[in-house]
Each structure stands twice: as structure tokens, then as C-alpha cells.
Amino acid sequence: MLDTAFVIGNPDLCIGCRTCELACVLAHTKKQLGTEEIKSVPFLPRLSVVKTEDISVPIQCRQCEDAPCAEACPEKAIVHRGQAIYVLAEKCVGCKNCLLACPIGAVYLTRTAENAPQKTAYKCDLCAEIPDGPQCVQKCPTKALKIMLPESIASSVKEKRVNAVRNA
């Protein structure tokens, strides 16, 4: 049975406005911001809106159960935490193995603070510290993002199987 949740984007609803990216950055900013302070916040969303001529959709961590990024990490800095795969930034050495291992390119490497001695991995953590859950889902103006919980995934799979039998 699946035990992780993840956020998925619907390209038919996404308009490429990047509100999800902004919501992510603000959700992961520890201090309350005034108008002037917002200018000093590094723009480091944990998802990326991919836009082409025909389509736009946010790409973010699928919280893989087998987590290739975690398996590739020599420092064990990527762990299961609740329903998410989480980066322990203090253990990350910036080796980039997780970037290479991620099948959808949802792990990023950057200095998360101005005075950080090295770059560290970061990725979607399902807004684990936010009571309302993933802010990208909450703030999307077109409702293009949806959180997939283990129960909804199991229900979807069952429904598809029933439909496949009916259409056979």
C-alpha cells in the first residue's frame, strides 16, 4: 500500500502564472514579511513551472516510495518524514547524486542562505511545517494542482481497473 502523498499538476488547467512558485517561496520563508522585506527573500521555489508553446505545468517531487534521491545520497541526508521525502540540509554535502538520481528533475541545489558555506539539496516537502498543507495547492488560482493522498491513489487505481474491465 502506498504511504506517501504528492502534488500533481493538471496541464489542462495550468495557465503558467507561477503563483504556485511564489506561494512555495513565501511558505518556506521563516519570518513575516513587510513590503520592503519581500525584496530580500531569495526566490527559491521547490517546484518549477515548465512552459512550452503548447503546455504549462508545475513539476515537483512525486515523493517516490523507493526515493532514488535518498538511495543515492551517501550522507543519508534525504529521509522519509511523515508522508514526504525530506532533505536534512545540515547533513547535505552538495554532492549532486540526488539531482542525478531524481527521475523527474525535482531536486534542486542551491545556497539556501547568503552565508551558507556550500550548496545543499532542496525539494518539495509538502509544506510539512504548514498546518494547511501544500501552499501551491492552496494558492493556485485555477485549481490546477491537487494533492494525491494514498487513499485517493488507491481509489483511482481501483476505478481505472473497473473501467478497463467494462471497456474490454
* CATH code where residue 153 lies: 3.30.70.20
The most confident of 9-13, 114-118, 130-134, by mean pLDDT: 9-13
Q: Give yes or no for residue 32 having a pLDDT over 70.
A: no
pLDDT for the residue numbered 150: 80
What CA–CA distance (Å, rounded) separates 46 from 57? 14
What are the C-alpha distances in Å from 151 to residues 70, 127, 135? 24, 19, 21
Pairs from 73-82 (Cβ < 8 Å, separation ≥ 24): 73/97, 73/98, 73/121, 77/121, 78/121, 80/4, 81/125, 81/128, 82/126, 82/128
Kindly state whether residue 1 falls inside one of the protein's structural domains.
no
pLDDT for the residue numbered 74: 97
Kindly state whether residue 11 falls inside one of the protein's structural domains.
yes
The identity of residue 33, as a single letter, is L
Band of pLDDT at residue 1, cut at 50, 70 and 90:
very low
pLDDT for the residue numbered 153: 80
Kindly state whether residue 43 falls inside one of the protein's structural domains.
yes
Q: 8-17, 95-104, 155-164: lowest mean pLDDT where?
A: 155-164
Domain count, the chain: 1
pLDDT for the residue numbered 83: 82
What CA–CA distance (Å, rounded) separates 58 from 8? 8
Q: Give yes or no for residue 128 having a pLDDT over 90.
A: no
Q: Give yes or no for residue 3 having a pLDDT over 80.
A: no
pLDDT for the residue numbered 157: 87
Kindly state whether residue 157 falls inside one of the protein's structural domains.
yes
Radius of gyration of the chain (CA): 17
Residue-number span of the structural domain to which 109 is assigned: 6-166
- Residues 97, 102, 106, 111: what is their CA dihedral angle, to the nearest 10 degrees? 0
Kindly state whether residue 96 falls inside one of the protein's structural domains.
yes
Q: Give yes or no for residue 28 having a pLDDT over 90.
A: no
Kindly state whether residue 98 falls inside one of the protein's structural domains.
yes
Kindly state whether residue 120 falls inside one of the protein's structural domains.
yes
pLDDT for the residue numbered 56: 95
Furthest C-alpha separation in the chain: 61
Residues whose CB falls within 8 Å of the CB of residue 168, separated by 6 or more in sequence, listed in order:
none
In percent, the amount of the chain with pLDDT more than 90 equals 62
The beta-strand segments (E) located in 1-51 are 6-9, 48-51
Kindly state whether residue 19 falls inside one of the protein's structural domains.
yes
What CA–CA distance (Å, rounded) separates 111 from 69? 19
pTM of the predicted model as reported, rounded to 2 decimal places? 0.83
Higher-pLDDT residue of 69, 131: 69
pLDDT for the residue numbered 2: 47
Q: What is the mean pLDDT of residues 11-27?
A: 94
What CA–CA distance (Å, rounded) separates 101 from 108? 12
Q: How many residues does the chain have?
A: 168
